[in-house]
Structure 1
């Protein structure tokens, strides 16, 4: 394998350590990548009310964070930017297991797969979720 192919395969974090692979400056995430990260990480932070609220534009966080915590999210297409707003198709899927205090765990979320259009708003340099319907 030549050096060029090796550089393409190494994770971005290791690129500065490899001699001859180009710039040692890390690549900055694009606006779209930052927006998509806010969407795809929502299920992980939904269990923490403060973190959940910070993912949304002030005053727009839904009251049903528990429902968001029981689902997973995946960007399902290209985002469309219009000024400081972006609309993104989001695949919402169930199947995340929730535990209970009883001896038996709850079954996986009954929510099926659906795709909804979410709206994000640029707040300073960050993309925050403005509207995130579950279906």
Structure 2
């Protein structure tokens, strides 16, 4: 390699050094992503009554956690934030087994798909479910 080629490669090496091979910091999670994760993980949390209770605001925990464990949840559109609350459309579908429950002999829900508006409440740094109608 001659001197001129070496000089031309210096900016390339400098650029690669600045860019790096990837950032060690994880990408920032938005408030909406945090809220959506709370909703989409509800089916798994419902398999354990204690974990299920932590997903909801105080006083809003449904007693029928088994019904929630037998369904899956998917965000069906953009959430609407109003202060510390968010209303989000949630697609609810049946035929799902709870993954954290110990009793695998239970039948999966055979209810059809529906979409409901759920209300989430910001509690400290976390989103928690305030209202979660199944249909």
Which of the five TM-score ranges fits, normalised by the shorter chain? Answer: 0.7 to 0.9
TM-score, normalised relative to structure 2:
0.77
Higher Rg of the two aligned structures: 2
**Root mean square deviation, CA, Å:** 1.7
CA contact (8 A) 2:76 2:90 kept: yes
Look up the SS of the partner of 2:51 in the other structure.
helix
Which ranges in structure 2 are unaligned for 5 or more consecutive residues?
1-18, 99-103
Contact 2:44 2:69 in 1 (8 A): yes
Distance 1:49 1:131 in 2: 17
Partner of 2:69: 69
Matches within 5 A, 1:1-135: 20-21=20-21, 23-97=23-97, 99-100=104-105, 106=107, 108-135=108-135
Cα distance in 2, alignment partners of residues 111 and 33 from structure 1 = 27
The CA deviation string for residues 44-99 of structure 1, in whole angstroms up to 9 with x for no partner, is 01011110000000110100000000000000000100000000000000011474
**Structure 1: segments with no counterpart, 5+ residues:** 1-18
With a CA cutoff of 8 Å and minimum separation of 6, indicate the structure with the bigger relative contact order: 2
Count of residue pairs brought into register by the alignment: 112
Task: Describe the superposition over 1:17-51 as per-residue Cα deviations: whole angstroms up to 9, x where unpaired.
Answer: xx624643222211000000000000001011110
Which ranges of 4 or more aligned residues in structure 1 deviate by more than 6 Å? none
